[in-house]
Structure 1
Amino acid sequence: MTAGRGAPDVVVIGAGVAGLACAQDLVAAGVAVRVLEASDGVGGRMRSDRVDGFLVDRGFQVFNTSYPQVQRRLSLPALALRPFTPGVLIHTESGRRRLTDPRSQPSALAGLLSGRVAGARDLAALGALAASDALLPPHRLKRRPDRSTRAALAGAGFTDAFVERFFRPFLSGVFLEDRLETSARVFHLVWRSMLRGALCLPADGIGAVPRALAAALPDDAVRLETGVERLTDDGVETTAGESVPARAVVVATGPGPAVALMPDVEVPDYRTVTTYYHAPERSPLHEPTLLVDTRRRFLNTCVLSEVAASCAPPGRALVATSVLGADAEGREPALREALSEVYGADAGRWELLTVRTVPEALPAMAAPQELTRTTRVAPGRYVCGDHRATGSVQGALASGARAAREVLRDLPSR
């Protein structure tokens, strides 16, 4: 690999996880690669910042250990992962209800059998769904006829009441839509990954993941603060007017910049999410558990400092709460009222640390959903990202890997 010592074979535009995965595989094949990133750090949507001593991700995110691409590319022990509780707290009109996987916490079985969370029919359906999705190989799940998640849950035997009490509020935070219209194929694959892995957060924030990917590249492979103005006949031109020749170009940006560089590329609609970070004096919930609301006043909320103590200074707590859409006047005060109710604390006294809105957080994945798409756009031109696969870290990494395979297949021999 000789990036930086002359013209690269391939330019990758964007140092998000898709672009970094693509670059990793090209470098492993002996191809000279240069990654051009417009911002001051790698990660794209997966970035972490320090704000007044708190560690804040750019939008609430979790890390799933079971994704095949994650297991292939990353050392999980090196990320110092801190796990969430393998379950969820559901705020209902009758108070909190806990739904926990009894495989990881056998003591939770008694609570499930009490019928406070689910009746016998729903428990049986939940057990059958868990067995099917956890044990069937992914290719079998991918070949099922596609329909909406809501239709799939009804077909699996769940009552409407349980779907509204659990699946709808919980999956709203997973897919960033609250009508259960996401592809059932995507749902089953994501559900499988949750059953087979653990949901965690790196001790240094979600930004540790792309930093680990970038660390596996040669030192001079990534150029930060180098935006790309346009593609040229023989490479790219940066926003500073520099020409960077290359035999192939991979656009691994978000959907907006991708379309600006390649107007013929079709991208799906994207979901916007806003996360409010509050800093109370003490933790309002002494466990690392996601909390959802049957009234759907928010997607989910969590005391991040209970997951990873490194998220907050000593003696302080950090609460992350996500909502669909952008921030708007009056939204945060209304959210404080909801948080006061669900946590049983006076959220009106909490410090608002920061607000993070991610306009292109996740692609819409309504049925029928293609689970993977070619990255080829034109000779020597490729595009990758979660909009070419599924809206997840796995989808973004897999799309980057596919781009590398297609580049290697097409790249003329030197």
Structure 2
Amino acid sequence: MLEPTYQADVVVVGAGIAGLSAARRLTSAGVTTVVLEAAPEVGGRMTTEKIDGFRLDRVGQPLSTGHPQLREAAALDGLMLRPFAPGVLLHSDGRHHRAGAQPGARGARSARGALHAVRTLASTPRPGTGPRRPVAVPGRQVSLPRHRSGAPLGTAVDQARLGAALTRLAGTPVERLLARPELPAAEALVTRGLPARTVDGFLRPLLAALLCDPDLTTSSRCADLALHAFASGRLCLPEGGAEALPQRLARTLPPGTVRTGVRVTSVSTTSVTTAEHGEFRCAAVLVATGARAAAELLPGLRVPAFHPVTVVHHTTDEVPSTGASLLLDADRGGPVAHTAVVSAVDPSRAPAGRTLVTSTVLGAATAGVDTGVRMHLARLYGVSTARWETLAVRHTADAVPQMRPPHDLRRPVRLLAGLYVCGDHRDTGSVQGALHSAGRAAAALLADLGVNGSLHTADPVATAHAA
């Protein structure tokens, strides 16, 4: 039973990734904290459904090891981040092309070496063939053509330019990225000095997947942060499902800190009122819910528009030849923005002998989405999907907050002395944005309470974007 007059230094409303991360920082600083969650479990949008031995994420966003805060959160309880194959796999003209695989940010010298190597490769035809030389990629034949029509990345030299650009980006300080003029991402891409073929065939589908924004209306600064993280690390998934991250964060908190099934109806600077369990008195309140729920508790708080996402999970006895790759459609010939054989990335997500394929559709839900997805997947994977079994189709209308320019990467987290707010709607619409805002809110709260806030050591903006 909950004690109606329970005393705590801080009450955190919401046990999503932001609330749990903030609670960890507060309790680590010696601040007594209670986390109240209306749902029966922690995680918010980072939940994982269990069906017949499969683990199905609600929002299938890939994360990136290029974000220090994600690595820090995952390391708390030994969570494994399972990496995709390097880069991404692009589907174009019925073929697969590996793109964006970075051997490591080794500077301009490495980029010049790569450019020379690709030029040599492009000028050396195989006996009896034209000027195209195949490169081995597991399960597929991939070509580096000299002509624009042969691959989504343009010529071999264009591809070397892309590799050099990603290498430079990985080494660019975040402050320089944020100093660039802010435009919609779609407009900014044409100013980056890369050929149109490379932009349309690689950067647009990649950013659409990372930002959950098919039209790339997102601020170019947020897009640059996404590409920076992509170039600096590897795309990944938490082992065991998205819920593993919030669950492990919850386990790092003192016993009894998290109370689920408690619905908060109002907040003030000194108390929280709940529907069934009375009032919780405290010295400060941190609202760490989604944007809509936060606005109900904090009248006047701006609610952003959202990017809706539909995730479709299939299983099959077959194993597509793409391996553990994130597969994008460079031709944009169907509803699927990105898809992956998730069980190849993280085997714990499917029973032995079964394959789990997870596909993401961006935009409003449509009738018969599974039929359109199956037809598109048949082209993307090059196999019949007629016998694939649909495990679940999950639509989330408020999946990712939109970040149209001008976008404030550091929206205020301190509303009043004693009243704070955090979440992905305060930084960037991503797991990393939620973690970053939690750190900022905890630091502000500790400062106001007169507690040493040195635990908040992350770069204030460096990790503020999406994967």
* TM-score of the two chains, using structure 1 as the length reference: 0.92
Q: How does 1:3-402 map to 2 (within 5 A)?
A: 6-75=6-75, 78-103=78-103, 111=135, 113-115=144-146, 116=151, 117-119=153-155, 122-232=158-268, 234-293=270-329, 294-297=331-334, 298-402=336-440
User: Take 2:385 and 2:67, find their aligned partners in 1: how far apart are those partners?
Assistant: 36
User: Take 1:224 and 1:403, find their aligned partners in 2: how far apart are those partners?
Assistant: 22
- Alpha-carbon distance change, 130 to 76 in structure 1, aligned in 2, over 3 angstroms: farther
Unaligned 5+ runs, structure 2: 105-113, 122-134, 136-142, 452-467
- Classify the secondary structure of the residue corresponding to 1:8: strand
1:3-22 superposed Cα distances (whole Å, 9 cap, x missing partner): 99941111111111111111
User: Take 1:127 and 1:370, find their aligned partners in 2: how far apart are those partners?
Assistant: 30
Larger Rg: 2
Q: CA deviation at 1:302?
A: 0.7
Counterpart code for 1:299: A
User: Take 2:39 and 2:377, find their aligned partners in 1: how far apart are those partners?
Assistant: 34
Over aligned residues, Cα RMSD in angstroms? 2.4
User: Take 1:314 and 1:8, find their aligned partners in 2: how far apart are those partners?
Assistant: 46
1:245-278 superposed Cα distances (whole Å, 9 cap, x missing partner): 1221111001111111112111321111010001
Say which of 401, 405, 414 aligns to 2:443. 405
Partner of 2:457: none
Contact 2:33–2:257, Cα closer than 8 Å, also in 1: yes
Structure 1 residues 273-282 or 125-134, which shifts more? 125-134
User: Take 2:214 and 2:399, find their aligned partners in 1: how far apart are those partners?
Assistant: 15
- Alpha-carbon distance change, 127 to 19 in structure 1, aligned in 2, over 3 angstroms: same
1:163-183 superposed Cα distances (whole Å, 9 cap, x missing partner): 222222221111111222221
Contact 2:37–2:260, Cα closer than 8 Å, also in 1: yes
Counterpart code for 2:252: A
- Classify the secondary structure of the residue corresponding to 2:45: coil
User: Take 2:293 and 2:333, find their aligned partners in 1: how far apart are those partners?
Assistant: 32
- Alpha-carbon distance change, 130 to 259 in structure 1, aligned in 2, over 3 angstroms: same
Unaligned 5+ runs, structure 1: none
Structure 1 residues 248-257 or 155-164, which shifts more? 155-164
The total of aligned residue pairs comes to 410
1:328-385 superposed Cα distances (whole Å, 9 cap, x missing partner): 3222111111111211222122111011222221111122221112112233211111
Q: CA deviation at 1:310?
A: 1.4
Contact 2:34–2:257, Cα closer than 8 Å, also in 1: yes
Q: CA deviation at 1:100?
A: 4.1
Q: CA deviation at 1:388?
A: 0.5
Q: CA deviation at 1:121?
A: 6.0
- Alpha-carbon distance change, 195 to 412 in structure 1, aligned in 2, over 3 angstroms: closer
Contact 1:374–1:402, Cα closer than 8 Å, also in 2: no
1:216-270 superposed Cα distances (whole Å, 9 cap, x missing partner): 1101111011111122463111121511112211110011111111121113211
Structure 1 residues 92-101 or 114-123, which shifts more? 114-123
Contact 2:54–2:350, Cα closer than 8 Å, also in 1: yes
Counterpart code for 2:245: V
Contact 1:61–1:206, Cα closer than 8 Å, also in 2: no
User: Take 2:69 and 2:89, find their aligned partners in 1: how far apart are those partners?
Assistant: 29
Q: CA deviation at 1:69?
A: 1.5
- Alpha-carbon distance change, 307 to 12 in structure 1, aligned in 2, over 3 angstroms: same
1:78-117 superposed Cα distances (whole Å, 9 cap, x missing partner): 223321011222222343322142526x9x9665754433
Q: CA deviation at 1:205?
A: 1.2
Structure 1 residues 395-404 or 186-195, which shifts more? 186-195
User: Take 1:53 and 1:205, find their aligned partners in 2: how far apart are those partners?
Assistant: 12
Q: CA deviation at 1:120?
A: 5.1
User: Take 1:341 and 1:72, find their aligned partners in 2: how far apart are those partners?
Assistant: 39
* TM-score of the two chains, using structure 2 as the length reference: 0.82
Provide the identity percentage.
40
- Alpha-carbon distance change, 71 to 340 in structure 1, aligned in 2, over 3 angstroms: closer
Counterpart code for 1:400: A
